[in-house]
Structure 1
Amino acid sequence: MVVRVVDPAGRGFLLLDAHPAGCFAVVEQMRAEAVTGADMKANERANGQANGRVDGPVALVIGSSAGYGLAATIAGLARHGIRGVGVGFERPAARRSATAGWYRTIATATMVAETGGDFTFVNGDAFTGATKDAVLGLLEEQFGGLDVLIYSVAAPRRTDPGTGEVHQSVIKPIGAAHTIRNLEFDSDGRPGLLQVTAEPASASETTATVRVMGGDDWALWIDALAGRGLVNQGFRTVALSYIGSSLTDAVYRDGTIGAAKAHVDATAAALTTRLAPWAGRAFTSVNGAAVTQASMAIPGLALYLALVRAELGDRMRTPVQQSVHLWEQLTGDRPFDLDEQGRIRLDRWELDPDVQAAVVRRWKAATPETIGEVADLEWFRTRFRALYGFDVPGVDYSVPVEVDLPWPAG
């Protein structure tokens, strides 16, 4: 046993430890929100919406331990009784605690066990053939086929399984350097604004980012499923994506990550053709902005999120709320909300022109003196720290906790 007090030590938007009890509490909050926090008309529907259902569609969630992948997993389990497999890539406790995703997966597995569900969690690099083989073996043995695949992977690097070449992703503009402001907190928690200049990506860096964050691996998963005869009739697959505001375009949608997202969009169209024999469809789902461990790496997004929250308050839709609507569309309980490019849109609340105009005004008004007035700093700081299990109501952080916890058994 390794029992100790866990403190939120770290630098910038990276904390060195995660708090197990806090991570467990976060998952419980998300489960409760999935059950009760969506629109009430959806709650009244009888078609598979009742809490406790455990005979829903067979699903594979790749990236189930963090961010939108975690929200999609919890929403699917809590509202649709999904069965299947979740894949995460997390680190166990050693000198430091385990990663937050390790503890969140344990908590999610506990939720599954308490409801009598049938959902297994695999810890492994989703890019590797070994992980694909292990996951497909579980699906074949336990379920015989797959109804839904959700792909939610953000990674710094990927080894190409065909060539063995290691590709590194970067978050950079394309064509010219770009300077953007971002929110920061000092060691005492005082907020400030930081000017960040991102140099333009080289052609090779852009290509490498597409190889990591584009649709290549998503397509390999679909090919592997089809090759093993595991694609069920009516199969649906969705890769979770983001567009975002014009305020962050230069370093996001018009930058290297945007090039990768465009590749994901093109991959969705190609996969729909590939899935025609099963009457299957592939989509990109454009989610709204959220405080996640992946989004904190995007220059300017922390400031933008705090401004959006100040403008919208509780009208800002959480990852769980968006995931509830995603599952309703994937299961046919709600019509698909598609844009002209065929993408599922879960971000209309964020990109509403009036909302964006108001956020732009706040962005222009933000200075070191006014930041506390135009941005919701307390909300942002609390949400960021909750990514690691800190600042969660009801958790006593002065009490020593066991940090060396095992990955849930299959």
Structure 2
Amino acid sequence: MIIKPELKGNVSKTAHPYGCREVVKNQIRYVKDKGRFEGPKKVLILGASSSYGLASRIALAFGAGADTIGLSYERGIVNEEKLATAGWWNNIFFKEEAENEGLIAKNFIGDAFSDDMKERVIEYIKKEFGGKIDLLIYSLASGRRTDPRSGNTYYSALKPIGESIKGYNINIEKEELFEQEVVSATKEEIDNTVKVMGGEDWRWWVEALLKEDLLAERFKTTLFSYIGPEVTEGFYRSGTLGRAKKDAEETSDKLNNLLRERVNGESIITVSKAATTKASAVIPILPVYACSLYKVMNEKGLHETLIMHQYRLFNDMIYGDKREIDGEGRLRPDSWEMREDVQSEVKDILKDVTPENFKDTTAFDVFMKEFMELNGFGIDNVNYEEDINIEELKKFKP
């Protein structure tokens, strides 16, 4: 069959396996061109199959020579109507490239929130991964979580708190700008979003690993967060997502004290820049801001793809000597986005954007290109007219 892009709203229902392979290879080439750096050697990444998690895995494997364990919730091929997700292919082709370099690249597919998965990963670290890890990256983006201790399932809600918010959003499928109203969250929705996207599961992972003595001396852990500027405040930082991120920050403070005492380690909240990810594409109103931001940052030579951002994060900041820390102790590689001159120009664009002019006044083309690349489309050197044998694809295993 020939695999073509199939979008539904701001979600891609298809992914091209060989396009995903080229995306992984392109990121690897970027890291190799930038050069090696001193970093961790045994890394566990929760949410490793796409976006910031995948870019982190590539940066650390091919930049620092790290062996990695990647955990993700992805779907393989079901039938011709339901093909594998992009993350499924990313896992497979990352593993192939890493093992060609003599690195360990173990993939676990399943529910990172479950006790069973924690036990499986712990056993693997003990028996086949050298018995210790020196970095844990928490990069999960999920709409729901089942608490293994209570058995209850919680669903997140991407909503403002207090008052409804109106603003423009982008329908990626139709390439149209439309006005969106997002109603205010209920208390239950706020609490559930914190339960899904806050710091509790992160803490449980660290505590489980610590209990089994699997954390190396000077172990580090980081969770990727976002703050954003004033123009995104109402639907992000002051909304349900922001409440969950605040919970994660409070969790980080507790973990930092615990790790400092037990293994001379540290916990870090990393505030990333706005980026094109599967998660950001479905956050209300954020895509319009991102398109405007990309235009300004491109013009100033500041725009970064995911791999550029993550290489800089680990090389310069987490394992380098160029850390930028704010008053709350958070690492701020988003400082380029938050520059006063950048935000001033973004505000000017957003003030004048309309359904008629948004393609001309923003970098929608950049956003669209990056979104399609997340799913393996629009990549040079890929024959998208190739008739692909599904049975051959099924032979690939993560």
Give TM-score, length-normalised by structure 2: 0.94
Give the number of aligned pairs. 390
> Aligned match of 1:83 in 36, 55, 67?
67
> Aligned match of 2:394 in 388, 393, 405?
405
- Does 2:345 align with 1:348? no
Describe the SS at the equivalent of 1:28.
Answer: helix
Following TM superposition, by how much is the alpha carbon of 1:80 offset from its aligned partner in structure 2, in angstroms?
0.3
Q: Which residue of 2 aligns with 1:104?
A: 90
Decide whether the 8 Å contact of 2:359 with 2:365 is kept in 1: no
CA distance in 2: counterparts of 1:19 and 1:10, whole angstroms: 13
Query: Structure 1, unaligned stretches of length 5 or more?
Result: 50-55
Letter in 2 for 1:300: I
Is the alpha carbon distance of 1:185 and 1:132 closer, same or farther for their aligned partners in structure 2, counting shifts above 3 Å? closer
Q: Which residue of 2 aligns with 1:216?
A: 200
Query: Structure 2, unaligned stretches of length 5 or more?
Result: none
> Aligned match of 1:244 in 213, 219, 228?
228
Q: Counterparts in 2 of 1:199-238, with a 5 A limit? A: 199-238=183-222
Q: Counterparts in 2 of 1:271-282, with a 5 A limit? A: 271-275=255-259, 276-282=261-267
Letter in 1 for 2:274: A
Following TM superposition, by how much is the alpha carbon of 1:338 offset from its aligned partner in structure 2, in angstroms?
1.2
CA distance in 2: counterparts of 1:260 and 1:407, whole angstroms: 37
- Does 2:178 align with 1:181? no
Q: Counterparts in 2 of 1:33-182, with a 5 A limit? A: 33-36=30-33, 38=34, 43=35, 48=38, 57-95=41-79, 96-142=82-128, 143-182=130-169
Is the alpha carbon distance of 1:402 and 1:101 closer, same or farther for their aligned partners in structure 2, counting shifts above 3 Å? farther
String of CA shifts for 1:68-90, please: whole Å, max 9, x gaps.
00110010011001113111110
CA distance in 1: counterparts of 2:250 and 2:312, whole angstroms: 23
CA RMSD of aligned residues (A): 1.6
String of CA shifts for 1:145-192, please: whole Å, max 9, x gaps.
1100000001011111111111110100001111111122454xxx33
Decide whether the 8 Å contact of 2:57 with 2:68 is kept in 1: no
Q: Which residue of 2 aligns with 1:9?
A: 6
> Aligned match of 1:338 in 300, 320, 325?
325
- Does 2:20 align with 1:23? yes
CA distance in 2: counterparts of 1:260 and 1:76, whole angstroms: 27
CA distance in 1: counterparts of 2:396 and 2:344, whole angstroms: 46
Q: Which residue of 2 aligns with 1:308?
A: 293
CA distance in 2: counterparts of 1:121 and 1:407, whole angstroms: 13
Q: Which residue of 2 aligns with 1:369?
A: 356
CA distance in 1: counterparts of 2:317 and 2:120, whole angstroms: 25
Decide whether the 8 Å contact of 2:160 with 2:235 is kept in 1: yes
Q: Which residue of 2 aligns with 1:287?
A: 272
Q: Which residue of 2 aligns with 1:386?
A: 373
Letter in 2 for 1:152: S
Q: Which residue of 2 aligns with 1:323?
A: 310
Q: What is the percent sequence identity of the aligned residues?
A: 31
Give TM-score, length-normalised by structure 1: 0.91
Describe the SS at the equivalent of 2:233.
Answer: helix
CA distance in 1: counterparts of 2:8 and 2:213, whole angstroms: 47
